[in-house]
Amino acid sequence: MPKAMIQDNSRCIGCRACMVACKEWNGLGGEHEAEDAEFFAGDGYQNPRDLDPDNYTLITYTEKPEDREWVFGRQLCMHCLEPACASVCPTTALVKTEEGPVVFDAYRCIGCRYCIQACPFQIPKYDYDMGIFPEVHKCTFCSDRIAADLEPSCAKVCPTDAITFGERDDMIVEAERRIASAPGFYEPHIYGKDEVGGTSVFHLSTVPFEQVGYTTGLPMEPLPDLTHKSMRLVPRLFIALLTLFSGLAWFARRRLAREEAEARAELQEREQI
């Protein structure tokens, strides 16, 4: 059964325990910021500015202009139901599993970075400083933990229950219940329920999503459909074109042979005269 996760930003206190737990479970390195690097990005204590090969998840800090209060958001792989990254991977190094996680297999990766290009949430990150073994890095939804019937490490560690993990259908019901139970408190939208055909991570927020760094204006149809529109024509068009060109080339060759034979005959006639 497909799993999903609710990220309820109204419950988040910005402690970043999820970021630490993620690093621990996945064995990711710490930050090595240069001395003159901008340590904090944005208005608050957000660090780093963006996801990178050592940060699969990130708490974003935004200061509300009206009361200078911080609001939080969280970046991580959305684990789309029909992931653009997996659909564009020419070697199926990225696959959507039945339980929900979109997982990456470094063995199959050729490093074309089409997944990075295609992801509407700009999640996959790449080792630009690796000479021969660069990899794509992104949240795994702790697929190894899910396989062992455990919840992802971020959900496990969250002290305020801002992260809830369970069956996808149950999570939709739960998210709807929360929005309905406190009218006017939440934005009346479950981010991720329908975006790009639905994802496995649902975000709830008390401020409009675009103000906390979420990509909005996404289509509600799966992105792979866009490529499929032209790709599905390929097999039939291929057969049609191959037949057409073979026929044309055959006629062209036959005409050429006939012309040559005529020319030869003419030459012989002239010689006889």
Partner 1 sequence: MARPARRPSIGTIVALGLFGTAVVFIAIRFVYGLGAIANINDGYPWGWWVGFGVMSFISFGACGFTMALLADVLGIHKYEPFVRPTMVLGLLFYLSYVIILGIEIGRPWKAWIIFFSWGHTSALFEIAWCATIYTICLVLEFGKLATERIELPKLRRILVAIYLPAVVVGVTFSHFHQSSLGTMMTIVPLKVDDRWWSELLPATFLLTAYSTGFSVAIIEHVLATRYLRLKPRVDLLASLGNLQLVVVGIFLFLRFGDLVYQGTIASMLSVDWISLAIWVELLVGFVLPFGLLAIPSIRNTLWGPFAGSSLLIFGNLMMRNNITVVGMEVQTWQTYFPAAGEILTTVGVLAGTIWLYTFLLRVLPIHQEEPLDGPVHADVSASAHGLARSAEATA
> How far is it, in rounded angstroms, from Cα 106 to Cα 135?
6
Query: Binding marks (x or -) toward partner 1, 178..217, rule CB under 8 A?
Result: -------------------------------------x-x
State in angstroms the smallest separation of the CB of 211 from partner 1: 14
The burial of 240, by beta-carbon neighbours within 10 Å (0-12 exposed, 13-18 middle, 19 or more buried), is given as exposed
28 touches partner 1 by CB under 8 A: no
Nearer to partner 1 by Cβ, of 44 and 166: the residue is: 44
Residues 83-102 that bind partner 1 (CB under 8 A): 84, 87-92
Nearer to partner 1 by Cβ, of 89 and 163: the residue is: 89
| Pairing between β-strand 136-137 and β-strand 125-126 as defined by DSSP bridges | antiparallel
State in angstroms the smallest separation of the CB of 124 from partner 1: 8
Contacting partner 1 (CB under 8 A), which of 181, 230, 268, 272? 230
DSSP 165-222: EEEHHHHHHHHHHHHHHSTTTS-S--BTTSGGG--SEEEE-SS-GGGGT---S--SS-
Token pair 């006639």 is found at: 269
Selected range binding partner 1 among 27-35, 57-65, 201-209, 239-247, rule: CB under 8 A: 239-247
> How far is it, in rounded angstroms, from Cα 56 to Cα 95?
17
Examine residue 188 and say whether the peptide bond preceding it is cis (omega within 30 degrees of 0).
no
Residue 172 tokens, joined: 């939709």
Question: Which residues have a Cβ under 8 Å from the Cβ of 113 and sit 6 or more positions away?
Answer: 126, 136
Contacting partner 1 (CB under 8 A), which of 2, 14, 44, 111? 111
249 touches partner 1 by CB under 8 A: yes
Number of chain positions touching partner 1 (CB under 8 A)? 60
251 touches partner 1 by CB under 8 A: yes
Question: Which residues have a Cβ under 8 Å from the Cβ of 12 and sit 6 or more positions away?
Answer: 59, 72, 74, 160, 162
**Helix (H/G/I), strand (E/B), else coil: 230:** helix
49 touches partner 1 by CB under 8 A: yes
Contacting partner 1 (CB under 8 A), which of 252, 261, 263, 265? 252
Per CB under 8 A, residues contacting partner 1 are 49-50, 52, 84, 87-92, 108-114, 116-118, 120, 122, 124-135, 215, 217-219, 223-224, 226-231, 234, 237-238, 241-242, 245-246, 248-249, 251-253, 255-256
